[in-house]
Structure 1
């Protein structure tokens, strides 16, 4: 994560605090979360995913011109274009994510809608429907900036977001092994006998033409998923507290203290 901003909703500040505390112990930049979808037979499907962070934070700058001045409450994850979850999300984009952070004793559940950004060469490229300009806002660090960034006066509706730039940055900040995985055949299918189909690192492929082919395939298969969060449920087992945050029709949130 990238630290919290004073304009972040309360739940995001808590989310960032707990994830940062967990990372101090484990060294993982993004502790894994379980993603639940609805499969094509109407049954629940769940798997572990690694969040890439919030749009605007860290390496997910909103454009090449952004110097870290913007943040948001849009969480990102990624997947292979030919994985089962892609068709599931195209069919039903309601999702839940849950993380349990054992070292901090916290469970976080997020509910919302998924919007997929495919490579421009993918026929599903136009599937992205989320207008993220309503979900971003400027960071405010100094007291003077805080006054200028009063939510009543400023929103991000006029900001220019380069979604392809965001997707490319997400891809580039994977390890070489993960980048290579995106060049592999579709996940969940029978594994072929030809080991050349499964490179461990694309730059190590000696044939230049082959290397470029696998690099192109990896980028083509890389899908960035934006989660437009509408409900957050945080349980802190150490303090025996639980808060439920619900987004109103606008960009504000309600908070309810409930029993764990």
Structure 2
């Protein structure tokens, strides 16, 4: 760690680790661990949410001898076994957040998967058929998870970790027709009540790498395909540095 007291984070999402991916992600994680004190993983860690994929992923991550904090993404739910995926990661020493918070090197991290639903006046409302109400309720529950996690943090520096985007700015570049499936401004509300130093998310492979909340918090889209396309000469993770301070 930086002797001057800074903590460096390497953030990436949308790894989509497959069963035959052995050896393909190890160089990236080795570079991330060399560059940073903590690795942040923003969901879609596996491709189909299979235990076999999760086992491959933890083998790839074994080269990184730094703390790793993660949230799951929609792909990690695909096969209906997200708890099994989570357990495999946790058993390998990875902190997986789902409405919880943790502290690493004096920096607080709140994490949740998030959900879809759209932004601003285009956000889907809980009206009509039961399935629509259930969809909107899922977004509300995920926002509450994030708020609960944020409320637990007492550190001067705080990071929010998501899979879905809380703002439209970092999904722009995707077809406008699918914006509503890439995140929701309901996830932005907790960030207004409990401001953080930065937000990291994935999911929008063709979005924009940076944006800001209405209260000017930087939001970073760290989907691996986006980082590879936008910064082809750099390793596919986002480096972010914060001062290391003692909690008040």
Asked which structure has the greater CA Rg, the reply is 1
- The structure whose residues are more often helix, as a share, is 2
* TM-score of the superposed pair, with normalisation by structure 2: 0.28
Q: Which is richer in strand?
A: 1
What TM-score, normalized by structure 1, do the two folds share?
A: 0.27
